[in-house]
Homo-oligomer: A and B are copies of this chain.
Amino acid sequence: TIYVITPTYARLVQKAELTRLSHTLLHVPQLHWILVEDALQKSTLVSNLLRTSGLSYTHLHMPTAAQRKLHEGDPNWLKARGVEQRNEGLRWLREDRRAAAGGGGEQGVVYFADDDNTYSLQLFQEMRNTLKVSVWPVGLVGAMKYESPLVQGGKVIGFHTGWKPSRPFPMDMAGFAVSLRLILAKPDACFDADAPIGFLEGSFLQKLVTMDELEPRADDCTKVLVWHTRTEKPKMSTEKAMQAQGLGSDPTWEV
């Protein structure tokens, strides 16, 4: 089973993002979606979407601590997003899922899939056999065409990245998967919510593997199978002008 952990938060494009992501996941056999809302409680929107998605899933929620929340206008590199939610997904795998996982479940693989990225179906085939941590390139990330592990003789020997290549594991969240066995064997490994941006992935991977142990996928890390796409925030200027005249969109509609 591939366990896909996705943090998500309420915003205008949330339903659209989760809709198209669910269409991708629905093509992948033996997949379990762990969707973790950044919220004090589970929302009706997400509950209904999951229920009608046709996917096997677990619906969790975990609010981001107030002092860690980004505010309107903050530059988005200020604080890492989705951290507490990914850790909540890990907690569920280790605790609630421990019994089941103790059996055949240990064959599983864990992947962290943000709700706005784009995933090829091939990607899921590449990660399915992961002994410890498998890795591959990520497109359109870090203000570059792609970032990627550099592979020689089947081993990762460095990283193609534009920023501090000497960081521990300078890879995007979308660029690796971890075996469930390893997640269970290292119960303390989680994402450090206080790690500066760019050090978040490393704060987790450091506790799991050495660079030498990484398992290159996607033709020795030469194919882009996942893209760090971002969706524009929709303008609402006309909506506001219409509301001022009492002609706004129906607020009860789910969009």
**Residue positions of A touching B, CB distance < 8 A:** 12-13, 15-17, 19-20, 23-24, 26-27, 118-121, 139-140, 142-146, 160, 162-163, 222-224, 227-232, 234-239, 241-242, 248-249, 253-255
Copies of this chain present: 2
In the bound complex, do residue A143 and residue B234 qualify as a contact, i.e. CB atoms below 8 Å apart? yes
Secondary structure class of chain A's binding surface, majority of residues: loop
Chain B residues with CB under 8 Å of A242's CB are: 144, 162
> Cα distance A249–B16 when bound, in Å?
31
In the bound complex, do residue A20 and residue B118 qualify as a contact, i.e. CB atoms below 8 Å apart? yes
> Cα distance A142–B238 when bound, in Å?
7
In the bound complex, do residue B231 and residue A145 qualify as a contact, i.e. CB atoms below 8 Å apart? no
In the bound complex, do residue B20 and residue A249 qualify as a contact, i.e. CB atoms below 8 Å apart? no
- Contacts A16-B118, A23-B27, A118-B20; is A140 near B234 (CB within 8 Å)? yes
- Contacts A23-B24, A23-B121, A27-B26; is A15 near B227 (CB within 8 Å)? yes
In the bound complex, do residue B230 and residue A163 qualify as a contact, i.e. CB atoms below 8 Å apart? no
Chain B residues with CB under 8 Å of A27's CB are: 23, 26-27
Q: Give the contacting residue for A255; candidates B12, B24, B224; CB below 8 A.
A: B224
Chain B min CB distance to A86 (Å): 22
Chain B residues with CB under 8 Å of A26's CB are: 27
> Cα distance A173–B132 when bound, in Å?
47
In the bound complex, do residue B236 and residue A143 qualify as a contact, i.e. CB atoms below 8 Å apart? yes
Chain B residues with CB under 8 Å of A232's CB are: 229-232
The 4 closest A-B pairs by CB, nearest first: A162-B238, A143-B238, A16-B227, A145-B249
> Cα distance A162–B231 when bound, in Å?
23
> Cα distance A74–B232 when bound, in Å?
18
Q: Give the contacting residue for A143; candidates B19, B162, B222, B239; CB below 8 A.
A: B239
